Amino acid sequence: MTAVGGPVIAVTGLYKSFGKRAVVQGLELQVGRGEICGFLGANGSGKTTTIRMLCGLLVPDAGSGTCVGLDVIRETPAIRRQVGYMTQKFSLYEDLTVFENLDLIAGIYSMPNRKAAVRDIVERMGLADREHQLAGQLSGGWKQRVALAACVFHRPQLLLLDEPTAGVDAKARRDFWDLIHDMAADGLTVLVSTHYMDEAERCTRIVYLSQGRIVVHGTADEVARRSGLVTFEGTGQNVDVAAKLLRRMPGVESAAVFGHVLHVAGMDRVKIEQAILGAKNAGLAWREVEPRLEDVFIHMLGESEAAA
């Protein structure tokens, strides 16, 4: 059975431990068809372990549910044939050309009209000018594009991406995400873990993990609004001086400089306003603004570290 009308991912009560260390604890997650779901959380929060359980590489210790309509406990081999999984580390053969790598993948999947299938994916992924280049000679951005092509070659229902653009430049990241949105428009479901907030904002919905549990989910705007963070923006010439002072003030969780703008965030309005008054000698002009997703992420990282 494969997913047709229901959610592509629908799991509940997933647990996974390694020795005495509980990595995923009672996780519940639903992701609909064509959705791009961002997976956020500190290192060690359980993102990669969850992704590996969903794609059939790890079997949960407990819990139940389906991925692409298949049981995550009993039908893991079938799940792997319906899912594309891309890791952060480039895992293709660097001493083969782009075409040779993809031809090898086509053989693994026993694809009919193998050469034609490779030509098709090369064209669809914009790799025609690179197909005869050794994979090891490609830049980071082109390597990621080839890896993505290998993951979607067999036309999976679900694409799982584990920090796919780490270490590539801004243009390559944008091009990569344009490809993801094009495929989502055709019905592909995507679950992607990332530490880049601009990427998280491009997701249909984001899910935040802490210690193996989902603690926040919703659109980027919803998560920011519901966070309870109080944020103020100061502009002027002395933002660095003000930031250094404000970081020492009670209640200030972050004071980040962006050019001539200083962004201050915290949970206690009274303390934030008192801190800003204490920095009045810096001569900045202040106004209250909506919290950014980055502010929320930093706040949650702080909470995760405190809990740990």
Which of 6-10, 124-128, 167-171 is predicted least confidently? 167-171
Give bridge partners of residue 40 from the DSSP assignment. Answer: 208
Cα(207)–Cα(40) distance, integer angstroms: 6
Here the tokens at position 120 are: 């098709």
Q: Please name the CATH architecture into which domain 230-290 falls.
A: 2-Layer Sandwich (3.30)
- Mean pLDDT, the chain, integer: 91
CA distances from 186 to 36, 58, 73 (A): 12, 29, 29
144 touches 165 (CB < 8 A): yes
pLDDT confidence bin for 91, thresholds 50/70/90: confident
Cα 209 to chain centroid, rounded: 11
Residue-level pLDDT at 275: 95
Query: Around 184, how many Cα atoms within 13 Å sit in the side-chain half-sphere?
Result: 20
- DSSP, residue by residue, 124-173: HTT-GGGTTSBGGGS-HHHHHHHHHHHHHTT--SEEEEESTTTT--HHHH
CA distances from 74 to 52, 59, 69, 79, 248 (A): 15, 9, 12, 10, 54
**264: helix, coil or strand?**
strand
Q: pLDDT tens across 185-204, in order?
A: 999 999 999 988 989 999 99
Here the tokens at position 117 are: 């299938």
pTM of the predicted protein model: 0.88
Cα(172)–Cα(79) distance, integer angstroms: 30
**229: helix, coil or strand?**
coil
Contacts 24+ apart (CB under 8 A), 220-224: 220/293, 223/293, 223/296, 224/290, 224/291, 224/292, 224/293, 224/295, 224/296
User: Strands, E, within 167-229: which ranges?
Assistant: 189-193, 205-210, 213-218
pLDDT confidence bin for 5, thresholds 50/70/90: low
In residues, how long is the chain? Answer: 308
For residues 263-272, average pLDDT: 96
Q: pLDDT tens across 236-253, in order?
A: 999 999 999 999 999 999
Residue-level pLDDT at 118: 94
Domain ranges of the chain: 9-223, 230-290
**Domain 9-223, CATH class in plain words:** alpha beta
Residue-level pLDDT at 167: 79
The burial of 104, by beta-carbon neighbours within 10 Å (0-12 exposed, 13-18 middle, 19 or more buried), is given as middle
Q: pLDDT tens across 108-155, in order?
A: 888 888 999 999 999 999 999 999 999 999 998 899 999 999 999 889
Residue-level pLDDT at 93: 94
Among residues 161, 164, 146, which one has the least CA distance to residue 50?
161
pLDDT confidence bin for 2, thresholds 50/70/90: very low
